Amino acid sequence: MIYNPITGARQNRLLLNGNTVYEWNGTLDAQGFILNQDNIEEWVANTSYTKGQIVLYKNAYWSATRLLSPSETFVFADWIKSDYAQIQTGLLPNLATKADSLRENYDIHTANL
């Protein structure tokens, strides 16, 4: 706060420190991590799905086994039934981050603090 005793004027000040990243595209993106939110949508006819995408169909969760082209009917052979309790949500490390973490744990030249 800046205070001038002669006039009695006060001004609040706020100092912000931040960094920008050169390749940031303005979206929520954490390099090395996957953001998995609890936003599973119902299966929709005539929609393409990617491998591993999870949908809700007839009160059950299903995961696509391969890249699926749009279809008017739900083909059970193209999906694997998933248990909702095993679906992890939040910020999850991807495979490269897990491998790097494992390498750091067994590096004898650095301290593991």
pLDDT at 86: 82
Copy the structure tokens of residue 13: 């000040």
pLDDT surpassing 70 at residue 112 = no
The 3-state DSSP class for residue 55 equals strand
pLDDT at 3: 76
Name the pLDDT band for 113 (thresholds 50, 70, 90).
low
User: Which domains does the chain carry?
Assistant: 2-105 (2.10.10.20)
pLDDT at 85: 83
User: Strand 2-4 relative to strand 9-11: parallel, antiparallel, unpaired?
Assistant: antiparallel
Which of 38, 69, 35, 70 lies closest to 54, judged by CA? Answer: 38
pLDDT at 111: 65
Task: Give the number of other Cβ atoms within 10 Å of residue 10's Cβ.
Answer: 9
What are 20-56's pLDDT values in tens digits?
667 777 776 667 777 777 788 999 999 999 988 889 9
Name the pLDDT band for 11 (thresholds 50, 70, 90).
confident
pLDDT at 29: 66
Which of 28, 33, 56 lies closest to 44, judged by CA? Answer: 56
CA distance 55 to 71: 14
What are 74-93's pLDDT values in tens digits?
999 999 998 888 878 888 88
